Amino acid sequence: MRTADVSHVLRTRLARAAGWTAAFYLMVLPLMGPRRGLWVALAVLVVQALALAADRVPPASRERFAAALRGGGRCSVWMEHCPAWVRTAAPSALLLALAIAGLGMSPYTLDVATNAGIYVLLALGLNIVVGMAGLLVLGYIAFSAVGAYTYAILNTQFHLSFWLALPLGGALAACFGLLLGLPTLRLRGDYLAIVTLGFGEITRITLNNWNSLTNGPNGILGIKPPSLFGFTFSQPKHYFYLLLGMVALAAFFSRRLERSRLGRAFVAMREDETAAESMGVPTLRLKLLAFTLAAFWGGVAGVLFASKQLFVSPESFNFLESVMVLCMVVLGGMGSVPGVILGAVLLAFLPEVLRGVAEYRLIVFGAAMVLLMQYRPQGIWPSTRRYEEFRQEA
């Protein structure tokens, strides 16, 4: 390449970098004001400079770097090759380690970990319908709202025990899932996503306006914490162990489902619906089942949420929460149980870790998501299937 060409390329690059920087500055201006906005502009400029520098790297090494990032998702493949006893023992060992670690955690860490546990439940539930069956559901948090309000209302009005509310909230959410699924599961992907998004919003708006039942935007106060044989859950560590147990249960359930005839059929349906049908898979019924199972776990997570917060209000169940749970599933690795757990824990902890940068949190968060999806579209810990899929495409 001649020098004139190089300088021409450089000029256009610089002009583009300047353009992006200005655009970002204007975008964050109303949010952050002129001075703090400059920091964002500076960050954008740095990213641009890094991109320019990356272009100088010979394509071969860049390709190697990208391949290393993509290939890093071998965890599941690697696990497959582990001896059987390692595979069976690893989850129990991890559980035990977490239980012991819980003894030494500060109340703050325990609290964050408990919240992460609730997210793990939600993500595992959503993974059944999105990751396994391949149906895009956007308003998932609504099922959690059903569970949370079930416990809130029945506990404050009728003193229903937490242990009864747990399956009941799940079952009620499952009923909502069934009712929503019956008319909508004939829809194709994008339409299903829109309808479920609408359902999520309708649920939130209903909770917000049905004053006589839900106390509207003020929410429901005075929920009793769970108790067991006279022992009352009152400290963060109590909830931590409760959630740890529930997560273990949900993970075990997910794992069993994945390996079962039913889980296989979910995946087959996602792969090729017509082929699955010609094998005798009743696709409509199975989609409904996936939907109902996901809703059930959403409801269970909701009951736990209400029992921990001791307060519920509609704003806890906004659209962003649904998006967050979806991000956890996609980021961790759709259809992979360990991946989804990892994704949920990471995304639940990330805002806490980023507390130092206060209001830039969302920007850093967004940047992290974009980078991850750019370099690891299969997720952090993809299932063997997804790993193969992306390797073949690469």
Partner 1 sequence: MLELSGVRANYGAIEALKGVDLEVKKGAIVTLIGSNGAGKSTALMAVSGLRPLSSGRITLEGEPIDGLPPEAIVARGVVQVPEGRRIFTRMSVRENLLMGAFLRRDRDGIARDLARVLDLFPLLRDRLKQNAGTLSGGEQQMLAIARALMGRPRLLLLDEPSLGLAPSMVKAIFDIIAEIRTEGVTLLLVEQNVNRALRIADDGYVLATGAVVLHDTPSRLLQNEDVKRAYLGDE
Q: Which is nearer to partner 1, 181 or 219 (CB)?
A: 181
Phi-psi category of 221—alpha, beta or left, where left has phi over 0 and alpha has psi -120 to 50?
Answer: beta
Q: How far is CA 32 from CA 22, 35, 236, 361, in A?
A: 15, 8, 35, 12
- Quick one: which of 110, 116, 154, 265 contacts partner 1 (CB under 8 A)? 265
Return the residue matching tokens 């009951």: 303
Query: Angle between the 361-375 and 337-353 helix axes, to the nearest 10 degrees?
Result: 150
Other Cβ atoms closer than 10 A to 325: 30
**Binding segment for partner 1 among 140-148, 191-199, 233-241, 265-273 (CB under 8 A)?**
265-273
Q: Which is nearer to partner 1, 106 or 274 (CB)?
A: 274
Question: Which residues, in sequence order, are CB contacts of 369 under 8 Å at separation 6+?
Answer: 327, 331
- Quick one: which of 272, 315, 359, 370 contacts partner 1 (CB under 8 A)? 272
CB 75 within 8 A of CB 376: no
The rounded distance, in Å, linking the Cα atoms of 263 and 78 is 22
Q: Which is nearer to partner 1, 223 or 269 (CB)?
A: 269
212 counts as binding partner 1 under rule CB under 8 A: no
330 counts as binding partner 1 under rule CB under 8 A: no
Quick check: helix, strand or coil at residue 232?
Answer: strand
Q: Which is nearer to partner 1, 109 or 384 (CB)?
A: 384
**Binding segment for partner 1 among 54-62, 241-249, 271-279, 373-381 (CB under 8 A)?**
271-279
352 counts as binding partner 1 under rule CB under 8 A: no
- Quick one: which of 40, 123, 268, 331 contacts partner 1 (CB under 8 A)? 268
Q: Cβ of residue 178: shortest distance to partner 1, in angstroms?
A: 20
Q: Which is nearer to partner 1, 302 or 333 (CB)?
A: 333
Q: Cβ of residue 280: shortest distance to partner 1, in angstroms?
A: 3
CB 220 within 8 A of CB 155: no
| Distance of alpha carbon 311 from the chain centroid | 23
**Binding segment for partner 1 among 29-37, 155-163, 259-267, 358-366 (CB under 8 A)?**
259-267
- Quick one: which of 264, 351, 354, 361 contacts partner 1 (CB under 8 A)? 264
* DSSP assignment string, 52-91: HHHHHS-HHHHHHHHHHHHHGGGHHHHHHHS-HHHHHHHH
Look at residues 198, 202, 216, 197 and name the one whose alpha carbon lies nearest to residue 322. Answer: 197
Enclosing H/E stretch for 228: strand 227-228
**Binding segment for partner 1 among 7-15, 177-185, 260-268, 326-334 (CB under 8 A)?**
260-268
392 counts as binding partner 1 under rule CB under 8 A: yes
Q: Which is nearer to partner 1, 34 or 280 (CB)?
A: 280
Residue 218, token pair as written in the block:
């003020």
Q: Cβ of residue 265: shortest distance to partner 1, in angstroms?
A: 6
Q: Which is nearer to partner 1, 280 or 356 (CB)?
A: 280
Query: Angle between the 319-332 and 107-127 helix axes, to the nearest 10 degrees?
Result: 80
**What residues from 274 to 293 belong to the interface with partner 1 (CB under 8 A)?**
274-282
**Residues in contact with partner 1 by the rule CB under 8 A:** 261, 264-265, 267-268, 271-272, 274-282, 384-386, 388-389, 392
